Amino acid sequence: MKKTAITFSLIFMFLGIFAQQNKPINIKSKIKSASIYLAGAELIRNKSVNLKKGENSLVFINLSHKINIKSIRITTQDGVDLLGISHKINYLSANKDIPALKKVKDSLKLMSKKIQNLRDETDAYQTEKKMLLANMSIGGTNSGVAVSELRQASDFYRTKITEINKKVSYNNTKINEYSVKVINLKKELNQLNTGATYPRSEITILVSSNVDKASTINLKYIVSDCGWSPSYDIKALDTDKPVELTYRAKVFNNTGINWDNLSFNLSTADPTLSAEKPNLKPWYLTYYTYRDNYSGRNMKKKEGYAQNMVVQTQSNQPQTFGNVNDGNNNNGIVTFEEVEIPELSAEFKITKKYSIPADDKPYIVEISKHNLPATYKHFAVTKLDKDVFLIARITGWEDLNLVQGPANVYYAGTYLGQSFINTRNVKDTLDLSLGRDSKVIITRSKLKNFSSTQLIGTKKKEIKTFEMIAKNNRKTPIEIQLLDQLPISQSDEIEVKALELSGAEYDINTGELKWLIKLAPGEKKKITLSYYIKYPKNKTLETKKNTSRQIRYKF
């Protein structure tokens, strides 16, 4: 039966006296499990130690130097009493033999050796060429050379020098190729050296045992400069199928210690919360204004490569998750932003074991997959864009403990771009744009026969008539929300009046027109929009709304 975990303030007096009498036992332990938070992680280590009767000094070595010393907790078994705990940073024990660092150093040595061998070989060929050129004279000044001998000598020199030139050229090409690899390896070595030269923490504990025995010591602590950020894939195959939501986490580790073959939980809780009892504060309601930048709970911003991430699973088979596409052309750089989380924290148990290197790069961990019911609607503003957009209204998402974050959206196997899951949405539906639907067409054209300009006394009257035709080329019925507008007068001299709206909902304050069109498979419907503008004929009215676009001219 284990004793309750005890947290001590750092006690140095007992340890200092004891260290003079007994040699401490160094303990090399492995991380057994972890709880990874949005900012920080709680790690658990344990080790079976042979204790002697009486007092024993145990030192957990090679720990991260980013430990929160107030979070250190030690648990002992029955018959073992904990007398004291101390923590220190060992600046002389920086680990420079991490596997990734050794691999790069070995590759760098191999490339350097290949370059030197090629240079030595090239130098030998150059020396041989100089010797040939210095000994080309095959006859004396008073005696000639037979034609057959001259031809034979000529063939020999031409063949040999050509062979040497080709070999030297090949070697120079390979030297240049290897030199580029050396430059890249040195860059990677510099990056790895930054993490490899981290100092290491040591936690010394003083325990007392009633007999000689083997006992398991459990160590738990919180480290900073690590965490996770949410990421989603939303896939819709067709308008009559549910939406598949894949919940993923981008986990990063910059603690200086690799997490090898580790099982862990992902949590949205705050490990730095106070032990004081909570107090209720007034809860004020207000209108929510969407913000592009995540805000609220602080999370350290991290950047790293996320192209072709490989995470090692328990079966020792690399599990590749492919390119991480954040919707922006940022060369694979993934950025961890501040995120806002629900007041009630959630925890996700990751069943697979993963290895997360301490290289400050984000690694993809899959949390869960869900098939969510969805209804599909089409949306069009043909005055601004000729295409029709497909909207998926997803229900059931609020029960999945989602954290707000970016979502990659796919429709019919095609990547459409990036959306954003906003957990502050109080509605029970989540609306996502699935891009342009080429199977639904709406055209908008001006009817010249029903459009005219008239002079009436001191006024000019312009009549404008448009026809919109919507057609459903899908095999399922659809519903389209079509928007258009009437201009709004800002002067008593300008009069705007609708002539034909085809049953549209009209907002007099904004001029917005809204139609809800239901189309059966293959069905086509027409909508007519007609209005006039009347204003003084001696004034010029800008009746066409133009947009600007920056273009490049080639001269």
How would residue 530 be classed by pLDDT, with cut points 50, 70 and 90?
very high
Of 173 and 103, the one with more pLDDT: 173
Alpha helices in 7-146 (DSSP H): 13-21, 99-134
Q: What is the mean pLDDT of residues 96-106?
A: 71
Predicted pLDDT of residue 17:
46
Say if residue 61's pLDDT is above 50.
yes
Our measurement of the distance from residue 363's CA atom to the centroid of its chain's CA atoms, rounded to an integer in Å, reads: 8
DSSP letter at 438? T
Predicted pLDDT of residue 137:
60
Q: Lowest-confidence range among 250-264, 286-300, 414-428, 476-490?
A: 286-300
Q: What is the mean pLDDT of residues 501-522?
A: 93
Angle at 43 between CA 37 and CA 48, to 5 degrees: 165
Of 271 and 109, the one with more pLDDT: 109
Of 528 and 138, the one with more pLDDT: 528
Say if residue 306's pLDDT is above 60.
no
In tens, the pLDDT along 248-261 reads 999 999 888 889 88
Q: Which two tokens stand for residue 544?
A: 């066409």
Amino acid at 515: W
> Average pLDDT, whole number, for the chain?
78
Of 532 and 16, the one with more pLDDT: 532
Residue that is written with structure tokens 């997803």 in the block: 394
Of 417 and 325, the one with more pLDDT: 417
**Contact between residue 513 and residue 506 where contact means Cβ atoms under 8 Å apart:** yes
In tens, the pLDDT along 447-465 reads 988 888 888 888 899 999 9
Q: Lowest-confidence range among 159-173, 333-347, 393-407, 497-511?
A: 333-347
Using CA atoms, how far apart are residues 495 and 500, in angstroms rounded to an integer?
Answer: 16
How would residue 285 be classed by pLDDT, with cut points 50, 70 and 90?
low
Nearest CA to 405 out of 353, 355, 362, 359 is that of 362
